[in-house]
Structure 1
Amino acid sequence: MECLAEMPHAPLDRRPRKRQRLGWDVGPEIPQLKKLCGEEVANVISAMTMGLSSGGIVSSQETQGLFRFVTPPLREDDKDGHYVFAVGDNLTSRYRINAKMGEGTFGQVLECWDRERKEMVAIKIIRGIKKYRDAAMIEIGMLEQLCKYEKSRSSCVQIRNWFDYRNHICIVCEKLGPSLYDFLRKNSYRSFPVAIVREVAKQLLECLAFMHDLRLIHTDLKPENILLVSPEYIKVPDYKVSSCSPKEGSYYKRVPKSSSIKVIDFGSTTYDQQDQTYVVSTRHYRAPEVILGLGWSYPCDIWSVGCILVELCTGEALFQTHENLEHLAMMERVLGPLPYHMLKKADRHGEKYVRKGRLNWPEGCASRESMKAVMKLPRLQNLVMQNVEQAA
């Protein structure tokens, strides 16, 4: 194991890497199929399978050998720059698309068969837009940096490979299970058992301790970016379901067989630096110092973890808002008054949320609905105790 004391001090070079055009960008040249695409390929393959090709009868095995390397027809990206594909297409001669696993602002994640390693992998296909390509190169650099350390294998997703295909950066990673958010959603937003939440908390804090020792800040921790290692689950009785016209199957909820997790999405990860005042983190998991424009550092990751753990206990995001002052008021409602030293240091951007050393609430409230949304929140201790199950 490499010593964690050997921490990187120089900032990561975030410029997109330039490389020679590789064979997988154009696909292998197969003389019989070189100029064919789309329906023509399908017709030729069909004819070859039936033994009607001009060279005589061709076996099914030989046909499959040719087909497996066929480059898919060129298709224009969609209006948002996403790669357009069909299940069964090749991504280079090495990978075959098996299914779509998910989609986000960055692009799409596809389940693919790796012919070389004989295993399923997840390939993140970045939108063909410069800012997303640049962010992808940052993520690749971070993943390669993390992979140098043995400890990352138990907490961070592992990169297998990356390549540039038809103007799309493709990042090949190990295939994992669903995100914590997807598991919650498919479980009708039922809470996780407290024992599972404890295990997830332990792993998240160990992951952050490892990253922070390397002077890295994730900056975008959320349930969508935490994946269960295994997709397997069991169904257990859910005693909290109301007996009034329950939906079919609602007396049971899903519980993961394994609590093992891995953190993903390092496109926003950065080295610790001074004067970091730009906005980070997805809204519901954003720390107060970020909203107030005070600059941020390692604690912003810890704040996000706290919000995530409450969400796992309750099934719902803790701070459901899209407005800054309301968000800060919710924090005070749940946790008590914001520290005076933070309110005092609020910059010009944050001053509209602060008056005379205190939060400008409810005076600055935008609407009665906003005030009601804040008032209905209980204190954190009560909120958790109302929702967690008794530990076994």
Structure 2
Amino acid sequence: MGKKDSEYGSWRDGDEPKLDYEGKTGSFNKLSPRSSLETGNSPEENSGLQPAFPADNIDDGGVKTTQKGKSRESDEEGHLDYHIGLVMKERYEVVSTLGGGAFAKVVECIDRETEERVAVKIVRNMELFREVGKSEVSVLEEINGLDDDNTFACVRMRDWFEHEGHVCIVFELLGLSIFEFLRQNHFLPFSVEQIRGMAFQIFRAVCFLHRNKLTHTDLKPENILFVCSDYDLQYNESRECTERKLRSLDLKVVDFGTATFDHQKHESLVSTRHYRAPEVILDLGWNQSCDVWSLGCVLMEFYLGSTIFPTHDSKEHLAMMEKILGPIPSHLLEKTRKQHYVHNGSLHWDKSSSSGDYIKKHLQPLKNYMHDESEEDFFDLLGSMLEYDVYRRITLEEALWHPFFNPLRMQKQPS
């Protein structure tokens, strides 16, 4: 028996609001709460960064304003004051609100030309946000042009336009984000077999970006969406529902608001906290390998049902890494600009503190999380991705040929 996806969500505690897709056939929606999460794309952490969805409060009211830089159709924060039935570009009719954040609001529309349902992200009418919106459009146009056959699992932009000074981006509709599905499924982890199929799609998509000199910079379960998240309910002998079983694991990578080309300026702080690579925290500079680290964290979250680094503090984050992955190499600590993290060539960390006690009790070396020896290839891949030194960290091109994916390649061989 199938069931429709939820139309609602809420934001993670401590995270700056970012938009996500959600809905039966797909849509954007608010994020769901997860404790102790902090995103790196916050103006408070790096005033030079121009995030896709910077931290701010949401006002769903329809206050009109004539403040400079905003039209009379915008509320006091620069969001479009729209209504159900509004037609934009003489084509896209608003039928419902799907979600909202500080950067944009997202509505479900009927495309009057095709009669299809689409998601339209309506960016705030302020210069900073317009620039970020147009940057995202440029990245999406590049992706669409490089993958005109829709071979790789990246979200498709259908159209973009301006309405009353607002940049509006039209997307295909997708299903729930992986995080939202986990949340609705009581954070039950995925099986290793499911992870294999999902990881292969994600790796191919992000490898495609890397080959074209683009780094996503914000890979996390919220930014990976199922194409269709319809599911069947599984019951136990007492007819109690135990879990939701997805009918399809097809997915797509979304949110290119902070994607960065190799030739562009690399802001010092990127990625959402739980998925932030050590070189970013240590301010050593970063490249495409920061996406590999993020995906290592994502795969562990699929496996555990919860984040492997539950923290919002940088030094505590590094201490958690050391507990799971071993000591941070001394040559990285020597080079860091964050020398207050270092003492006598090691991480400056009080293991006897309450936080140190928590880490000691609740975290363990990576291989200790492994349930049985059949998962050895999976954990070998994880260890290669969660490598401190970017020069030793596996690339996604290499990862796609890792033995973990051998069963998929064997299935595709002709009989």
Same topology, TM > 0.5? yes
In the other structure, the counterpart of 2:283 is 293
For residues 218 and 309 of structure 2, what CA distance do their matches in structure 1 show?
16
Conserved 8 A contact 2:284-2:336: yes
The alignment yields a C-alpha RMSD, in angstroms, of: 2.8
- Specify which of 220, 232, 242 is matched with residue 222 of structure 1: 220
The Cα shift of 1:273 comes to 4.4
**TM-aligned CA distance change 1:380 to 1:152, over 3 Å:** farther
Query: What is the DSSP-based 3-state SS (H/G/I as helix, E as strand, rest coil) of the residue aligned with 2:145?
Result: coil
- Alpha-carbon distance in 1 for matches of 2:235, 2:368: 24
Kindly report which structure 2 residues correspond to 1:274-313, keeping only aligned pairs within 5 A, or say none: 276=266, 278-313=268-303
Q: Which consecutive residues of structure 2, in runs of 5 or more, have no partner in the other structure?
A: 1-70, 379-406, 408-415
How do 1:1-392 and structure 2 match up within 5 A? Answer: 76-150=73-147, 152-237=150-235, 251-273=241-263, 276=266, 278-347=268-337, 350-362=338-350, 367-368=353-354, 370-375=355-360, 376-385=362-371
Share of identical aligned residues, percent?
Answer: 42
CA pair 127-275 structure 1, distance change in 2 beyond 3 A: closer
Residue 126 of structure 1 deviates from its aligned partner by 1.1
8 Å CA contact retained: 2:177, 2:222: yes
Cα distance change of structure 1 residues 122 and 238 upon mapping to structure 2, 3 Å threshold: farther
> Residues 138-193 of structure 1: CA distance to partner in whole angstroms, max 9, x if unpaired?
11001101111236543111111101112211100111111111111222222123
Could you tell me which amino acid in structure 1 is paired with residue 348 of structure 2? Answer: N
Deviation at 1:87, TM superposition (A): 2.8
> Which entry has the higher C-alpha Rg, 1 or 2?
1
Measured in 1, the distance between the counterparts of 2:356 and 2:228 equals 42
Structure 1's unaligned 5+ residue stretches are 1-73
Check 1:100–1:385 CA distance in 2 against 1; reply closer, same or farther (3 A cut).
farther
2:227, 2:343 → 1: CA distance? 47
Deviation (angstroms), 1:79: 4.2
Contact 1:277 1:293 in 2 (8 A): no
2:324 and 2:196 map into 1 onto residues whose CA distance is 21
SS at match of 1:385: coil
> Could you tell me whether the CA contact under 8 Å between 1:314 and 1:384 is conserved in 2?
no
Contact 1:146 1:152 (8 Å CA) reproduced: no
SS in 2 for 1:184: helix
| Higher RCO (CA 8 Å, separation ≥ 6 residues) | 2
Gap change, CA 1:238 and 1:81, over 3 Å in 2: farther
TM-score (normalizing by structure 2): 0.68
Distance 1:98 1:275 in 2: 39
* TM-score normalised per structure 1: 0.72
Q: Distance in 1 between matches of 2:86 and 2:229?
A: 25
Instruction: Give the SS at the match of 1:362.
Output: coil
Aligned residues: 306
